[in-house]
Amino acid sequence: MPYPVLSKIPLLRVLIPFATGIVAAQYQSSIWWAALILLMGIVLYTGLWFTSKKNTAQTIRFRQRAFAPIFLIIFAIGNIHALLQEPPIIDTHKIEGKMAIARIEDLRHTDFSSIIQATLFQVEDSSTTPIKLLLTTRGCNYTLEPGDIITFSAHLRPIVNNGNPHETDYAKIQHDRGFIYKQHLRVDHLFKAGHHQSLMNSITRFRHKLENIIINSSLDSDTQSFMIALLLGDASHIDQETRYAYSCAGVAHILALSGLHMGIFTLLIWILLYPLDYLRLKKLRFVITMLILVAFAILTGLSASVVRATIMTIFVFTGYIFFRKSTPLNALIAAAIVILLITPSALYNAGFQLSFITVAAIIIFSPKSNQHKHKKNAIISYVKSSITISAIAMLSTIVLTAYYFHSISFASVISNLLVIPLLTLVMAFGCIFFLLSIAGIELTMLTNIVNALFHLIDYIVNTINGTGVSHIDNIYMSRLDVVIYYGIIILAAVAIKLKSWRPAIVSGGLLAAGVLMHAYRLYQLPQRGLVVLNSFSSTPVFFFEKNQGYLWVPDIDSVDINKFKRYYAGMLAYQQIDSISVIEPSGMNQPWAYVNPPFACICGTRIAAITNKRDKAFSSPQLPETDIALITKRCHAAASDVHERYQNATIMLSGGIYEPEYEEFLAECDSANLQYYSVKSMGAWEKYQ
């Protein structure tokens, strides 16, 4: 890397090797290997120290020849730090059935279940390595709260993916959050044994109390969810339809606390503290603003985007206090280093990547502010700068968005232009409404204003989505595509900066390589296929021919096709499925796919979907030849009954079968030595032509 770049952005020389070391920890698990690299770097740097003819102060300064040993040292530190932060692994068989004691860190209730984040620290009478658990319950206990000590019989299972094609790596996401074990149990099998008071538990309980204040207010339910996301950083109350609509309109970032919200919040605090300037206490104004921002970041859960914005603000404000300049890019890199020091796994978080890449691109590529100033009309200046910044943000993350969400929004430039001014008003009036609600005061006029502003934003989003050209779905991008895209951007920027044609030629070569890879992948796609998907709530049988998909779910009465598309977006994008039809009870008849529920013959595979003993599969006097006897969640037949009617068929266990019934059926198959395939444990069953 050129020395002038590292001179202007000195913290980059720390971030690059540190992040590289974190990535390397994914491919090797030996601290000794990292320690050897650290020792090698120290030896090389020590050798440069003693062989240098300059004085000590000049020697320790960064120079080009010292880059290699410094890189090795910081790389090794990042690698060791990431390995030490790995969640501990235990032998779950040793604690199977024993009484486990854990502490609740956070919990969420739904209508019929609870999701509990807990820390296991004791099994019966012996202490164990503290590990984080993800507990789900059948039923709710509304008396539980963060900090409670709970006991339950341990039946821990590793968190694994469902095994569906091109699905989101849920196990990796939970691993990066520190969770590698889970357990599902009935709520009456979980007992409260005490309470442990801690600062973080108190903060979490306080945040839940603030959420309840908004929930119990007179705001509309949709507005309540929106305000909780804006003011407390909890977007779990926002339904999937709303998330999808805002994502398609290119304004999904307003549903989660980010630098935009923190900037508005900082501006509001700065305005409220304006009287301190009259008292000649401007430095105190800076200090109070920073303290409030830190408290707010802790209260809202220290997300990557909030921490990044807070640290950048602290850097800038500290520079003003001590009369020192603070480079925005250096402040951004410092924020990244701090976050990775706290949580190395944040490097793999989509929010972290999108947040930092967006801000870095805006800092690097946006024109100087005075280029957008219009002497006669401030509105024109605002429109120009907003369009420029939105375009830069969209182009800088368009491939990452496609990689993670398989969708690209083109409406972000317009939607941000219209929504962000309204967002500022919503946060301003929302903060006033929130503070008054805490004091027990609720003004009808203020409630109507907040509701009206939110519904106006919602109307703009739905109107933009209604145009039909706001976004493109079914986009598949691989990791290599992402690397190629950013390689093209970097090389193009270098070519423009240096006014050289060589980087431009390499950039064009990368673009051609990416196009050829996509063309080859499309050429290799199968013409038709059959997939029995692993779902915890049903038994989806999905099949397709070319770009048309068909969905048959034999064990539920109604199918939410939009939910299916969102959940299996990766598979649909990879196979280039344009539309999906739900198979009606009347079935379908095609040369390659015949469906007459509960029977089907798809891609040459004969299937009988078994729901109970009274369906056609058991009452038909003449059973058709069958390759797969599909056991759905509604099936109450014994394995011996199924085998008696389908002796030559493979028994396939759906992922939707409830756990106790699944274990009983599995044990019966094993004891009778029956041939079976478990979608729940082995993943989706696939056949392509």
Structural domain tally of the chain? Answer: 5
Chain position carrying tokens 């959940």: 567
Average pLDDT of the residues in 402-418: 83
Contacts of 538 (CB under 8 A, 6+ apart): 553, 555, 556, 632, 633, 654, 656
Which pLDDT score, from 0 to 100, does residue 326 have? 67
Q: Is the pLDDT of residue 275 over 90?
A: no
Q: Is the pLDDT of residue 420 over 70?
A: yes
Which pLDDT score, from 0 to 100, does residue 56 have? 47
Are residue 238 and residue 386 in the same domain, yes or no? Answer: yes
Are residue 517 and residue 632 in the same domain, yes or no? Answer: no
Domain end among 84, 114, 129 = 84
Domain end among 84, 110, 136 = 84
Neighbours of 274 (CB within 10 A): 9
Q: Please name which of 183, 213, 256, 208 lies closest in space to residue 107, comparing C-alpha atoms.
A: 208
**What CA–CA distance (Å, rounded) separates 631 from 653?**
5
Are residue 183 and residue 227 in the same domain, yes or no? Answer: no
pLDDT tens by residue, 11-33:
888 888 999 999 998 888 788 88
Are residue 450 and residue 578 in the same domain, yes or no? Answer: no
Are residue 286 and residue 331 in the same domain, yes or no? Answer: yes
Q: Is the pLDDT of residue 97 over 60?
A: yes
Q: Which residue would you say has higher pLDDT here, 45 or 377?
A: 45
pLDDT tens by residue, 348-373:
888 888 888 888 888 887 766 544 45
Segments forming the whole domain that contains residue 126: 92-197
Which pLDDT score, from 0 to 100, does residue 686 have? 92
Spell 578-605 as b/e; 16+ CB within 10 A means b: eebeebeeeeeeeeebebebbbbbbbeb
Q: Which residue would you say has higher pLDDT here, 170 or 412?
A: 170
Domain end among 84, 104, 139 = 84
What's the mean per-residue pLDDT of the chain?
Answer: 83
Are residue 108 and residue 51 in the same domain, yes or no? Answer: no
Q: Which residue would you say has higher pLDDT here, 435 or 9?
A: 435
Q: Is the pLDDT of residue 88 over 70?
A: yes
Average pLDDT of the residues in 301-306: 78
Q: How confident is the model at residue 60 (pLDDT cuts 50, 70, 90)?
A: very low
**What CA–CA distance (Å, rounded) separates 286 from 275?**
13
Which pLDDT score, from 0 to 100, does residue 540 have? 92
Are residue 236 and residue 332 in the same domain, yes or no? Answer: yes
Q: Please name which of 674, 610, 676 lies closest in space to residue 640, comparing C-alpha atoms.
A: 674
Whether 408 and 358 have beta carbons less than 8 Å apart is answered as no
Specify the long-range contacts of residues 342-349, CB closer than 8 Å, at least 24 apart: 342/302, 342/307, 343/85, 344/22, 344/25, 344/78, 344/81, 344/82, 344/85, 345/82, 345/85, 345/175, 345/176, 345/177, 345/178, 346/176, 346/304, 347/19, 347/22, 347/23, 348/172, 348/176, 349/176, 349/304
Average pLDDT of the residues in 89-107: 88
Q: Is the pLDDT of residue 1 over 50?
A: no
Q: What angle do CA 476, 481, 487 make, to 5 degrees?
A: 150
Are residue 432 and residue 499 in the same domain, yes or no? Answer: no
Are residue 177 and residue 244 in the same domain, yes or no? Answer: no
Q: Is the pLDDT of residue 221 over 80?
A: yes
Average pLDDT of the residues in 212-234: 87
Which pLDDT score, from 0 to 100, does residue 614 have? 55
- Which residues is 621 bridged to in the sheet? none
Are residue 74 and residue 217 in the same domain, yes or no? Answer: no
Are residue 212 and residue 318 in the same domain, yes or no? Answer: yes
Which pLDDT score, from 0 to 100, does residue 571 have? 92
Q: Is the pLDDT of residue 316 over 60?
A: yes
Q: Is the pLDDT of residue 318 over 90?
A: no
Are residue 278 and residue 360 in the same domain, yes or no? Answer: yes
Share of the chain above pLDDT 70, in %: 92
